[in-house]
Structure 1
């Protein structure tokens, strides 16, 4: 062994372990930095997957959002839950009143807003596309009642003759008002049926008969036609509002508006 080899060999043997430790530490640090850098992406992906699962296999995500909606909400708060509406329409009955529309795969939400305050809202259940059928029909609970949408005919609720509205031309619909007492904050509860996406057999004809009876003042025929509507059809929308029938009827999009906007 040469003198050079005898001098350098011990030094090399001592440096190699130190280099391995430094290299391992550096790799660990880099890996840790990458992990922290991807944490937000991983969290967002996890949340997205969770929401996708709850949306396609349950209705819980949608129900949780609707539970946060109340008459009297400040508009800015409501937008933190539902975002910006796809459509805004001005009322012809009150120039300061706006109708704001949010369409999802499962429902159409309409807000009645005046001076940044939610005066009322309407939730319209929609027919589900195939990818959502595993969750079953979207039938949200009706506030201040023990019923859900599209479950039992309108006739299962007493008819107090507090006013109703209908049309079988621009939009096939029927709605009726049920004033609430103190436990319902004295709001107006609206229940009704529309034909935005799926026609209901015989509804247009039955509403036409009711409309004709109302025009000609035939009380017996009016009552029979009204009972026919209430006994045959379950409501697929509900509304809560401080406003009267004309405003709730006006807030309904026509069939042409619905197809044009959505």
Structure 2
């Protein structure tokens, strides 16, 4: 990191207002003008909208708070009061009593797994490399590769056909109600800042996963398979996680294919 040079200020020069003080001054000025005009209802709406827009554009706190309020076991009616209705709904083919409710947001995509009006799991895909929500029972989302971020896992799932993804499954303990954690990479999620070209990264990940699949199919050496697996884990930086009480393969099934994602998001 290049050191920041010292800035010499002239004697008696007033320091500039900080960004947040400027925002606060603007909000107060607008509120005062509108109150003086007798427009109290409009004033409260404008102030609320300004606050929300400022927080959303310059911090992730509102989004983090929204995500933190979603838990396995919640009723969908309770959660929909804050997050609204889903843009897309699909039904699981593996477990037909489970439906997938999809929400497409600016900074993240959310999938709720619903069974009889109850949340049995949810998956979150980050779309900005600095969007690092808290993962229940684990801690803050990390910017490390899977080899460093996830030392222990039970199973893994991957594909390179209709969608490039790699997910690792870990069963959480008794204190966490034996919930399932899935952590991994999905091609249309956030690209780590050290990779300038998302398409190039997807190509590299797909090639490494195909190498892993080839070893799993044709090699009789567990050591060779383990080596290919570790190569993949060192290359892959997670941008997706899920918490669920349902089978992890149902969560993997909930991932939209490349075509579906482009269709539903117009991207």
Instruction: Give the CA RMSD over aligned residues.
Output: 2.0
Number of residue pairs matched?
220
Query: CA separation in 1, counterparts of 2:68 and 2:256?
Result: 23
What does residue 251 of structure 1 align with? 254
Q: Which runs of 4+ in 1 moved over 4 A?
A: 31-34
> Could you say which residue in structure 2 is the equivalent of 1:209?
211
Aligned pair in 2 of structure 1 residues 126, 40: CA closer, same or farther (>3 Å)? same
Query: TM-score, length-normalised on structure 1?
Result: 0.79
Structure 2 match to 1:77: 78
CA contact (8 A) 1:120 1:243 kept: yes
Q: Which residue of 1 aligns with 2:244?
A: 241
Distance 2:219 2:92 in 1: 30
Structure 1 residues 222 and 34, CA gap change in structure 2 (3 angstroms): same
Matching residue of 2:133: 140
Q: CA separation of 1:212/1:53 partners in 2, compared to 1, >3 Å: closer, same or farther?
A: same
For residues 252 and 144 of structure 1, what CA distance do their matches in structure 2 show? 23
Question: What CA distance in whole angstroms lies between the structure 2 residues aligned with 1:96 and 1:32?
Answer: 53
TM-fit CA distance, 1:211: 1.6
TM-score w.r.t. length of structure 2: 0.77
1:40 aligns with 2:41: yes
Alpha-carbon separation, structure 2, partners of 1:146 and 1:64: 15
Change in CA separation of 1:189 and 1:32 when aligned onto 2, cut-off 3 Å: closer
Superposed counterparts of 1:10-159, under 5 Å: 35=38, 38-127=39-128, 137-149=130-142, 151-156=143-148, 157-159=150-152
Check conservation: 2:103, 2:111, Cα contact below 8 A.
yes
**Secondary structure, aligned partner of 2:47:** helix
In structure 1, C-alpha distance between the alignment counterparts of 2:206 and 2:256, rounded to whole Å: 17
Partner of 1:192: 184
Contact 1:155 1:231 (C-alpha < 8 Å) held by counterparts: yes
CA contact (8 A) 2:111 2:123 kept: yes
Q: Which has the larger radius of gyration?
A: 1
Deviation of the 1:154 alpha carbon: 1.2
The separation in 2 between residues aligned to 1:206 and 1:234, in whole angstroms, is: 13
Unaligned runs of 5+ in 1: 1-30, 128-135
**For the residues of structure 2 that align with 1:166 and 1:88, how far apart are their CA atoms?**
23
